Structure 1
């Protein structure tokens, strides 16, 4: 493990300036629509990336981190400029609040965070500026697209039904890092960054921290946590890798249209759907000494009565048509809790209808299916589904928005 002072020295050496208490005399790394980004800003961002990820980079990795730091600063400069154009402001109090939430998430105090920054050679404004740009972009995107991103009850119901119907397929509990490729010439560079992140994890960096710093996915704010994802919802390139991966591993870089994924497979579940049945029954006792003809007559009588049932409210009256028969409300049961022969008989029914008489320990029984619902563990609530759908759509709109802003801007990298 490299001492922090050695890492700071390596970072400072990249800019050709041995560190400065102020930005006086610093070179310009890039100019974004006439606003400069200094080499000091780039080095400070690199140190912040190293401090937050826990990485122990070598000189080659530091060079790639320098490129990533500059790209991030350019995007943040564009986001702040666009926010100013629409008079979106972020107050210092709002930055303080976000910093407090960050501290709470990491079970530390704000003073602890600031002390760690200073010990790593990082000025607190480096973190505050990053938080400010994230908040400004979030406010701008919410204001621009929030009213347009609507999720209907039908869309929620369709998504829920699709999730339930797919639960017989494998499910993957994943976290993700998505590294976008803006043009073909960036592919090698992005792949190198992905491999660098994997090496940082080998050296002890945590996946959620790297996701917050590097990922362009909507899940970045939550450390890349994408929750349970069903087979069929993932890109084929991603699922083909996860299918063969054991839980607890991080994937190699996975090329997909638009970028590269790193996937942490936290758990895998083959899944399964449970049919929840609401049942009633009519039982017709048959004496043990009944002849075969008497048993057949009882079976036919019960079958005729059961065939006439068209609602569960009619079960009691139907049972009253047969001497000695009695109804039973069995309530809601999982089909896995039924005896195999009863489960098989009920499986082919549609509500409301009855099975043919079955021979049971109580005599002859006909089971009436009042309702059937599918359920499974891990199905998100309607609120969670709606939030996920809104987040996905808003993330796509935000990416397109930033892409348009880049296209219309002048960025001069020195």
Structure 2
């Protein structure tokens, strides 16, 4: 189960509440069968209301697909003999409710006030727990993250500028007492349309109560540290051209659209350390022949034959590498080779890897003090801090697992018998 809204927004949605939609003439009439398991009209109405409370798009098609997917998740769990225990369900209910700062009992009561039956909440959590069991049993054993993938992601993160300023547009929709739900619905509609900059500006001119409405909600450049701490991760999670989900503030619902960002590289991120191999030859022809055969740094020794003993492998900063060799290395990808022609001799050059100097330095860091941490460093996040290798590995693992889960759900959907009465 994914986080849909922040706890604050979720609580606000629960407190707003609303009457449940009117029941159809036959609310328990099946509307679709998934592998012979019926989804009723009443379930659809309840899931739509539940999604509204959570702040998720709640149109009929989206809610119906969510119910179909839950049936497929439970079907997959049944095939593997995975059952959700009472203890496991209760733990899942408590965990989900804690995202809104509530206990499961408080969350259930709030849902009932908003017109959502407790069983809807229980079914939603049960499907999520069962699906996690499926992922653990079937998919996780197949997911692996190599050291090379971690190195590549670390390099990407280090070479990505740290955002220091953002160019935002704002849209502030008034939500006076009694009109909170209408304001939220309008904000969801705007955000759900994935508006372009021009479309967001038009909506701001029409609906925003801010003084920036006449300019399409456009704000000047803002330093990230000047934003409220709770808002920073929301904004930093966007790419230029994206809009936030609706944010509840007292008396209003707010949307932000990210137009652009500015950032700086970490000190030393442009400087590189290169791992490379060289082998001297008496003639250019010999060097070129081996360069054409060479496949990787690991196999160069065997490919070089009797000359393997003369191979030199070095790891050096760019500014320490001889100019002619550095010039050749600049145009090479990992495990590519080239030849430096000296006229009366030649040198094969093969690049094994390149990485930002600050990453190479971090791998060689050793502790210089035995003093215990005093907690101050942890209290002040360091924007320049290098990504933690194990954290990056976990992020990659979770990303792969999520992609595998999505692919497996799509496979289940393709193989299922889904029919309408």
When normalised by structure 2's length, the TM-score is 0.49
Rg larger in 1 or in 2?
Answer: 1
